Amino acid sequence: MAGSGIFSESVPLADLLVRSAHLHPERTALAFPGVRINYSELLDGATRTARALHALGVRRGDHVGVLMPNSPEFVESFFGAALLGAVIVPINARYRSAELGYVIDHARLRVVLITDRIAERTDFRRLLADALPSVNAADAPGGPFAEAPHLRHLVIVRGRGGGSFLGADEFASLATTVDPSVVAEARSRVRSRDVALLLYTSGTTAHPKGCLISHEAISRGSMGRMTENVPLGERNVFWCPSPMFHIACMQVLLASIGLGGTFVTDTHFRPDSAWQQIVEHDVTSLWPWFQAVMLGLEGAAGFDPAAIPDVHSFSLIGPPTFLRRIQALFPRAAHINGCGMSELSGYYAMSPLEDDQEARATTGGKPVSGVEVKIVDPETGEDVPRNALGEILIRGYLQMEGYYRDPERTTETIDADGWLHSGDLYRMDDAGHISYEGRLKDMLKVGGENVPAIEVESFLCTHPHIRIAEVVGIPDDLLDEVPVAFVEIEPGVSLDADEIIAWCRGRIASFKVPRAVHFKTAGEWPMSATKVNKVALRKEIAALMARTA
């Protein structure tokens, strides 16, 4: 019999909100500390934003930047642009002037929406003025701006205007000049294969790359993952502290909206406040994603898994020893492991519902419905045998349309047969589970031996007092390259580098043993949006070596 009870949810992005607002108008859609917004209110706010954007000249296909921390206005801006069929460009709130100026110009943004809700150490008005010096010269709202010739408007959706910035009151007044029927008509014309998002992702290149993501990829992907791989109930309350501009959080937010669930978050992750929210809203599904966040939550005042008995699932990646420990804290919840990237609209593989806890702790699951994967020798392109290491290639509806304004890199990444070359190293076991083994460029070459950094990191995390480990390579005259470790140890524990190195000897091959160990505390790790920034760690090592040379 064809089919397995899995149905595609391939709809224009804004339809997810419109449907839930009609079905569950009074249900809480978003919950921030001290703030609850129901679906009717959220749709009203998004529609006002869409009307005001239309008054500013935004039309289907125009690019609208959203530069904000997690906030109600982020979600209203996101869906407001989607209602018009505009392309949403979520901008990393951690960008500084050079990165921000590049993205605004490269993305050909017509409007940038910001808020005066100050994220941690970030004033967006000042940041934009630094990125676009011509902003300082204007005494009235509106462009053009010399550094970004396509940009026409800078809007503060929550806060006062002034100079080049249009304030919230003026923006709201513009909405009254556009009839709601105009927005409804614009929404009805959006196609599932239209581009919905332009997601900028950092990598090893000089500038962030812009991934063109269709409505089908992000709506069908977000809903499909959740309905296929997460044990849902009649009441679904999701907690995710990751930034909304990042695909990790975005896919959970959109699934929650599409399911008529409640999404619980904050402007930034604060462990004590987060735990209070989780208990207050009786969260059913936890999405901390990363080891550092989960460790922070464990350290929150009053943390006790027994206080949230309705949790049916949690999503977390990390070393198996760590994952087994968290599984033991939530024995009745399904642990969801997975593999993903921005170019694939988030997760392309997840733990199947039938997986046992050990498979969930040791693998990234299996490809989700509608997605093909294969693992190949990165040099020959030939398929490798099961359990052999190789580069994973992915193909399916989740895939980006390409990199914006970068046909050369698009061709390098997506081959003539439609396979996306991830640059990630994986193994596939006999049952079809895949396991991440690091980046191709995160593979150390130690005296001719291939050493995935993640292999050494996972081993280090089996030490009873090491919480987090990150490994990078440094040049070596004899072996070309050798591993160096950065670790965070348990609070109150006394442990030095020589002890860690001695512990490694005899347990792993000598060429995998770190030649040096550097210590980090929880607040010292250099972070990208969601994970430790290894580029910064390599720079740190290079600076240290230069000082001691």
Name every residue whose Cβ is closer than 8 Å to that of residue 268 and which is 6 or more positions away in sequence: 69, 70, 119, 120, 241, 243
The model carries a pTM of 0.87
Q: Pairing state of beta strands 237-239 and 209-214?
A: unpaired
Buried b (16+ CB within 10 A) or exposed e, 429-462: eeeebbbbbbbbebbbebeeeebbbbbbbbbbbe
Q: What's residue 439's pLDDT?
A: 79
Alpha carbon separation from 143 to 154, 242, 522 (Å, rounded): 8, 33, 43
Task: Quote the strand ranges of 353-506, DSSP E.
Answer: 366-367, 371-376, 390-396, 402-403, 420-428, 434-439, 443-446, 449-452, 466-476, 480-489
CB under 8 A, 24+ apart: contacts of 19-24: 19/258, 20/257, 20/258, 20/259, 20/260, 23/260, 24/260
Phi/psi for 210 (5° steps) reads: -100, 115
36-201 topology per CATH = Rossmann fold (3.40.50)
Choose among 362, 311, 317, 318: nearest CA to 336: 317
Domain locations in the chain as residue ranges: 36-201, 447-548
Alpha carbon separation from 365 to 227, 357, 410 (Å, rounded): 15, 11, 27
Query: Right CATH number for 447-548 from 3.30.300.30, 3.30.2140.20, 1.10.150.650, 3.30.70.1140?
Result: 3.30.300.30
Residue 435 in tokens? 């396991």
- C-alpha angle 509-510-511 in degrees, rounded to nearest 5: 95
Residue 457 in tokens? 């990191």
CB under 8 A, 24+ apart: contacts of 131-136: 131/97, 131/98, 131/100, 131/101, 131/104, 132/101, 132/104, 135/163, 135/164, 136/163, 136/164
Q: What's residue 477's pLDDT?
A: 77
Name every residue whose Cβ is closer than 8 Å to that of residue 502 and which is 6 or more positions away in sequence: none
CA separation for the pair 412, 415 (Å, rounded): 7
DSSP H or E stretch at residue 28: strand 28-32
Alpha carbon separation from 140 to 102, 136, 150 (Å, rounded): 24, 10, 18
Got the DSSP string for 205-237? Answer: SSS-EEEEEEHIIIIIHHHHHHHHHS---SS-E
Choose among 28, 33, 31, 99: nearest CA to 67: 99
Q: What's residue 1's pLDDT?
A: 37
Alpha carbon separation from 383 to 376, 388, 427 (Å, rounded): 4, 10, 11
- C-alpha angle 217-63-142 in degrees, rounded to nearest 5: 160
Length of the chain: 549
340 and 225 Cβ atoms separated by less than 8 Å = no
Q: State whether residue 442 is helix, strand or coil.
A: helix
CA separation for the pair 76, 44 (Å, rounded): 9
Amino acid in the structure at residue 247: I
Name every residue whose Cβ is closer than 8 Å to that of residue 156 and which is 6 or more positions away in sequence: 114, 115, 116, 125, 165, 166, 167, 168, 171
DSSP H or E stretch at residue 35: strand 35-38
CA separation for the pair 266, 191 (Å, rounded): 32
CA separation for the pair 163, 136 (Å, rounded): 7
Alpha carbon separation from 513 to 10, 276, 471 (Å, rounded): 48, 41, 10
The sign of the CA dihedral 316, 320, 321, 327 is positive
Q: What is the pLDDT along the chain (549 residues), one digit of tens a residue?
A: 345 666 778 999 999 999 999 999 999 999 999 999 999 999 999 999 999 999 999 999 999 999 999 999 999 999 999 999 999 999 988 888 888 999 999 999 999 999 987 765 678 999 999 999 999 887 788 888 999 999 999 999 999 999 999 999 999 999 999 999 999 999 999 999 999 999 998 754 567 899 999 999 999 999 999 999 999 999 999 999 999 999 999 999 999 999 999 999 999 999 999 999 999 999 999 999 988 899 999 999 999 999 999 999 999 998 899 999 999 999 999 999 999 999 999 999 999 999 999 999 999 999 999 999 999 999 899 999 999 999 999 999 999 999 999 999 999 999 999 999 999 999 999 999 999 988 787 888 887 777 888 889 989 999 999 999 999 999 887 787 899 999 999 999 999 999 999 999 988 888 899 999 999 998 899 987 677 888 889 889 888 887 876
Residue 195 in tokens? 């581009």
